[in-house]
Amino acid sequence: MSDTETDTSREPEELSAAGSQLSTAPLEESASAPPGLGVIGWARWFWRQLTSMRVALLLLLLLSLGAIPGSLIPQTGADINKVADFRKAHTTLAPLYDRLGLFHVYSSVWFSAIYILLFVSLIGCIVPRTWQFVGQLRGRPPGAPRRLDRLPAHTTWRTTADPEQVREAALALLKRRRFRAHPAGDAVAAEKGYLREVGNLAFHIALIVLLVAFASGQLYKSDGNKLMVEGDGFANALPMYDDFKSGSLFQTQDLVPFSFDLKKFTGTYETSGPNRGTPRTYEAKITYRVGAYGKEKATTVKVNEPLRIGDSKVYLVSHGYAPVVTVRDGSGKVVYHDAVPLLPLDGNVTSNGVVKVMDGYRDARGKADQLGFQAFFVPTFDPRAGTMLSQFPALVNPLLAVNAYHGDLGVNSGRPQSVYQLDTSRMKQFKDAKGQQLKKLLRPGDTLTLPDGAGSLTFDKDIKQWAGFEIVQEPGSGWALGGAVVAILGLAASLFIQRRRVWVRAVTGPDGVTVVEMAGLGRSESAKVPEELGDLAARLYEQAPGAPAEPDPTTRAVPAEGAEK
Amino acid sequence: MTLAAATDLAAATNEHLANISNTLIYSSMAVYTLAFFAHILEWLFGSRSKVARTAAALTAGGSRPAAKGAPAVTVQQGGSTTVLERPQVVVRAAAGARDVPDGPGAHGGDVQGDLFGRVAVSLTVLAFLVELAGVAARAASVQRAPWGNMYEFNITFSTVAVAVYLTLLALKKNVRWLGLFLVTTVLLDLGLAVTVLYTASDQLVPALHSYWLYIHVSTAIFCGAVFYVGAVATILYLFKDSYEAKLQAGGKPGTFATSVLERLPASASLDKFAYRVNAAVFPLWTFTIIAGAIWAGDAWGRYWNWDPKETWSFITWVAYACYLHARATAGWKGRKAAYLAMLAFACWLFNYYGVNIFVTGKHSYAGV
């Protein structure tokens, strides 16, 4: 990435040798003239095109273009409900989008094609460059060009010191400055800044590592949700999850063995001001055990602080209330006593849900039946608000509204059904004295009595909370992080380190006085190259002090023909 | 109840501090406005002097002969019999580059213009200090980093942009020409902040309670400020480059264009400045995205989720990568690369305003 600012290697040919291999950036070839060489020729042409900088750039641009629709069109990976809404709203567009994979852009064929091509192109670029760089490291910096004064930075002076002395001093000086320096004929050739190339290659390789880590993470990941009421336990096994998604190469035995119990959930909220009700803290106190027989440990899971066990992470993602209700049958026997998790409908945790009493219940005549209650719950009921909706997310004035059904819940039909919805198609409403549907608002401790001795439902004083956990396993994230760190370091090295060459030539001039010439060449036209050259020249000047200038300036500075032995 | 009383007291203090912060922000806007007018005067007075270095360098028969290629240039210390103090380095421009000197700056060499320019810079320093105090007061009132919503993000952003500019000035870089453009945008940015985006001071939702907020958001703001400076230089480069091209082709640009563009640095200098600024901050932008990914891994369960904000920061990254790459590849230098840089900055802007306002995603709690 970004090898140069201004490529100086396109100087007249005498400089091209000096500037050769100052980087491993490929030469740009013209894209014209596909060869008429049959399959192999075409394959080679295609490969050369693919690995050319221009195509790599185009692919990079395409990648960013391709990422745009995914940010504007609802994505199944992010929010399935939104996609469903979109489908309903746009009946003509949706099938078209479906065909183009626009509801799952980042796993679509065409998006994958772009980045796979890009990475093939990248590999096709890195491999030859790495070999070239290894060759450069094994070789030596090229010798001095004949005309040093043609280089971007140049200086010269006449000195009383011998040419050999000057060259020796220059070699020592350059080596001290950690240049790779060697004497070459009448000059010393030196080069520095190889870390730029190392950084550049490291950056590109790190990108590949990052992609592979990301891709394998997608293939081997697993991701499930579990809703737990305070006091519930969870063991990390497939049947325990409420819902579960996994990558295509995931296997059940990959699940990290651990278990945990939710002890207590705490949520606090802003009590005043314009943002009244905005959550301030969410935390779940849990105890967990690693492995089947691990020691029990206590910890707190917060929004930004998941519990990490091996490759697995446990996140706190949602919460709500679970009022405890007790249902009695006609004889007064308790047939149901449990916390009922209700799903929040808004930010103030207005919630709803159902209570299903499946077995054990007998009606007034002693006949087995099933009961269903639709529950609507508000943690803070405010009669002044003029609405049943909750006015605050904490338990200030809880109220539970219930109605009741009896009949067949449909749970034995074999069809899956939601635990939060009541299928009333084969159930009958309980009626009140006026023949209306039986409904009642309950405060904690209140009881709804069913008519004709059919039993009762009590809203217990103990209101529990539930917490929703997401358990994510994404292997390879360590590799991704490592790749990212190397990418940044490599990028910084390739952008901030200058690769440059310095030559020092010392020859005896026609009048017997030594002429020293120094020149610097950088891959980019940077002010640092002349600066450094000036500094080096000043140091060398101390050891090879100036001689009085010769009387005739026209013959100086240019070394005699053949000075380059 | 004592706890509630203490909370109320704290709330009152916070409100007081928030009011102080608002006053400071408004005051800084007033001072920036003064700086804006001082810059206008600088440009106006500068137009009196008729410096035409670019025109002179590019039109035939100009005062600067194209002497770079001739070896005579190297004879800078020759011809005398004195012993040198220190060898002098002679620098040659790359072949094919236009050899144009930098303009004198907005004041155009005019003494009064220069005076107003200095006044403008001083006022900018003052406004910066006031704005910084405003941001600090805001931070104190909310007792956290002041980056919880777009209002806070905007006031911090303009503060940082001005800080970048003033730092470059303090480092004796040739950036005074940026002044007017910068102050104008800062005023627009603050105007938008106090009118459309204003949000009363408040605490953060739990998802933002993380030290990554400090790392991720602060680097994002800093990168934006630096990208902005780079974008201004790129736009000016495009103008100056077409001006130079027109001159070179023998055309005669309009008087206004001549007056303004003659005073700006040479297109090559602007281009180089834009490149350096963008290249310098690109690794930090990479870091910002990665820091965001690490935070996302902690907060949302996956380090990369293709959330709109993530996607657009990735698009911005790719666009800047394209720009930097284009500079390395023959054929995409100069104007083409500059268009890429503009595109990249447009992506950054969309990532900030567009994604926050038009798209809902996991960054939505940043608040409009």
Identify whether the C-beta of residue A324 lies closer than 8 Å to the C-beta of residue A464.
yes
Query: Which residues from chain B sit within 8 angstroms of residue A154, using beta carbons?
Result: 74, 89-90, 92
pLDDT at B191 over 90: yes
Cα separation, B48 vs B109, whole angstroms: 9
Q: Under an 8 A CB cutoff, do A548 and B326 touch?
A: no
- B92 within some domain: no
Identify whether the C-beta of residue A121 lies closer than 8 Å to the C-beta of residue A50.
yes
pLDDT at A554 over 70: no
Looking at per-residue pLDDT, the higher value among B75 and B227 belongs to B227
Comparing C-alpha atoms, which of A452, A456, A458 is closest to residue A433? A452
In this prediction, residues A71-80 reach a mean pLDDT of 81
CB-closest option in B71, B77, B347 to A149: B71
Cα separation, B356 vs B368, whole angstroms: 7
The lowest-confidence range among A526-530, B22-26, B239-243 is A526-530
The DSSP code sequence of A15-82 is: HHHHHTTSS-PPPPPP-------HHHHHHHHHHHHHTSHHHHHHHHHHHHHHHHHHHHS--TTT-HHH
pLDDT attached to residue B205 = 65
pLDDT at A560 over 70: no
pLDDT at B170 over 70: yes
The lowest-confidence range among A7-11, B58-62, B129-133, B350-354 is A7-11
In this prediction, residues A405-409 reach a mean pLDDT of 88
CA B45 to chain centre: 25
Q: Under an 8 A CB cutoff, do A315 and B300 touch?
A: yes
Q: What is the DSSP letter of A236?
A: S
pLDDT at A30 over 60: no
Tokens of B180: 């007017």
- B194 within some domain: yes
Which of A71, A105, A173 to mutate: most B Cβ within 10 Å? A71
Comparing C-alpha atoms, which of A495, A555, A501, A502 is closest to residue A199? A495
- B221 within some domain: yes
- B305 within some domain: yes
pLDDT attached to residue A143 = 87
Cα separation, A534 vs A156, whole angstroms: 11
Cα separation, B214 vs A54, whole angstroms: 38
**Does 3.30.420.40 match the CATH number of domain A142-193+498-565?**
no
The lowest-confidence range among A313-327, B6-20, B168-182 is B6-20
pLDDT attached to residue B96 = 55
Q: Under an 8 A CB cutoff, do B321 and A1 touch?
A: yes
For the packed helices A38-50 and A109-138, what is the interaxial angle rounded to 10 degrees? 90
pLDDT at B6 over 70: no
- B75 within some domain: no
The mean of the pLDDT values for chain B is 81
pLDDT attached to residue A15 = 58
In this prediction, residues A309-330 reach a mean pLDDT of 90
CA B278 to chain centre: 10
pLDDT at A423 over 80: yes
Q: Under an 8 A CB cutoff, do A302 and B82 touch?
A: no
pLDDT attached to residue A351 = 92
Which of A3, A4, A5, A106 to mutate: most B Cβ within 10 Å? A5
Query: Which residues from chain A sit within 8 angstroms of residue B82, using beta carbons?
Result: 548-549
Q: Under an 8 A CB cutoff, do B293 and A484 touch?
A: yes
Most confident of A147-151, A363-367, B328-332: A147-151
Most confident of A210-214, A355-359, B338-342: B338-342
pLDDT attached to residue B258 = 85
The mean of the pLDDT values for chain A is 84
Residue with tokens 């069109």: A73
Domain count, chain B: 1
pLDDT at B213 over 80: yes
Looking at per-residue pLDDT, the higher value among A48 and B276 belongs to B276
- B324 within some domain: yes
Q: Under an 8 A CB cutoff, do B91 and A282 touch?
A: no
Identify whether the C-beta of residue A542 lies closer than 8 Å to the C-beta of residue B67.
no
What would the pLDDT profile of A430-451 be if each residue is shown by its tens digit?
Answer: 888 888 888 889 999 999 988 8
Which of B3, B76, B85, B89 to mutate: most A Cβ within 10 Å? B89
pLDDT attached to residue A5 = 37
Phi/psi at A427 (5° precision): -125, 160
Which chain A residue's Cα is nearest to B323?
A2
pLDDT attached to residue A383 = 86
Looking at per-residue pLDDT, the higher value among A284 and B54 belongs to A284
pLDDT attached to residue A3 = 40
What would the pLDDT profile of B263-293 be if each residue is shown by its tens digit?
Answer: 889 888 898 899 989 999 999 999 999 999 9
CB-closest option in A57, A484, A485 to B325: A57
pLDDT attached to residue B312 = 92
pLDDT at B104 over 50: yes
Q: Tell whether A469 lies on the interface with B, counting CB pairs under 8 A.
A: no
pLDDT at A7 over 70: no
Q: What is the DSSP letter of A177?
A: T
Q: Under an 8 A CB cutoff, do B311 and A10 touch?
A: no
Q: Which ipTM did the prediction report?
A: 0.82
Query: Which residues from chain A sit within 8 angstroms of residue B86, using beta carbons?
Result: 534, 537-538, 541
Domain ranges for chain A, please list them.
21-139, 142-193+498-565, 218-317+470-487, 320-465
pLDDT attached to residue B207 = 64
Q: Tell whether A534 lies on the interface with B, counting CB pairs under 8 A.
A: yes
Helices (H), B300-334: 308-328
Strands A351-357, A180-184: pairing kind: unpaired
Cα separation, A497 vs A483, whole angstroms: 20
Q: How far is B146 from chain A (nearest CA, A)?
A: 17
For B293, the domain range is: 7-60+99-366
What does chain B come to in residues?
A: 368
In this prediction, residues B315-331 reach a mean pLDDT of 82
- B69 within some domain: no
Identify whether the C-beta of residue A66 lies closer than 8 Å to the C-beta of residue B334.
no
Share of chain B above pLDDT 90, in %: 40
Most confident of A45-54, B96-105, B271-280: B271-280
What would the pLDDT profile of A485-524 be if each residue is shown by its tens digit?
Answer: 999 999 999 888 888 999 999 998 888 888 999 999 887 6
pLDDT attached to residue A557 = 46
| Secondary structure element (H or E) that encloses residue A224, with its range | strand A222-229
Secondary structure (H, E, C), A69-81: HHHHCCCCCCCHH
Cα separation, A225 vs A317, whole angstroms: 9
The DSSP code sequence of A456-495 is: EEEEEEEEEEEEEEEEEE-TTHHHHHHHHHHHHHHHHHHH
| Secondary structure element (H or E) that encloses residue A120, with its range | helix A109-138
Under the banding of pLDDT at 50, 70 and 90, the label for residue B39 is very high
Burial degree of B162 (CB within 10 A; 0-12, 13-18, 19+) = buried
pLDDT at B107 over 70: yes
Half-sphere exposure (CA, 13 Å, Cβ side) for A193? Answer: 24
What would the pLDDT profile of A219-257 be if each residue is shown by its tens digit?
Answer: 888 889 999 999 999 999 888 898 888 888 888 888 889
Q: Under an 8 A CB cutoff, do A488 and B322 touch?
A: no
In this prediction, residues A391-414 reach a mean pLDDT of 88
A277: alpha, beta or left? (left if phi > 0; alpha if psi -120 to 50): left
Q: What is the DSSP letter of A448?
A: E
What would the pLDDT profile of A468-478 be if each residue is shown by its tens digit?
Answer: 999 998 888 88
Under the banding of pLDDT at 50, 70 and 90, the label for residue A150 is confident
Comparing C-alpha atoms, which of B148, B119, B120 is closest to residue B135? B148
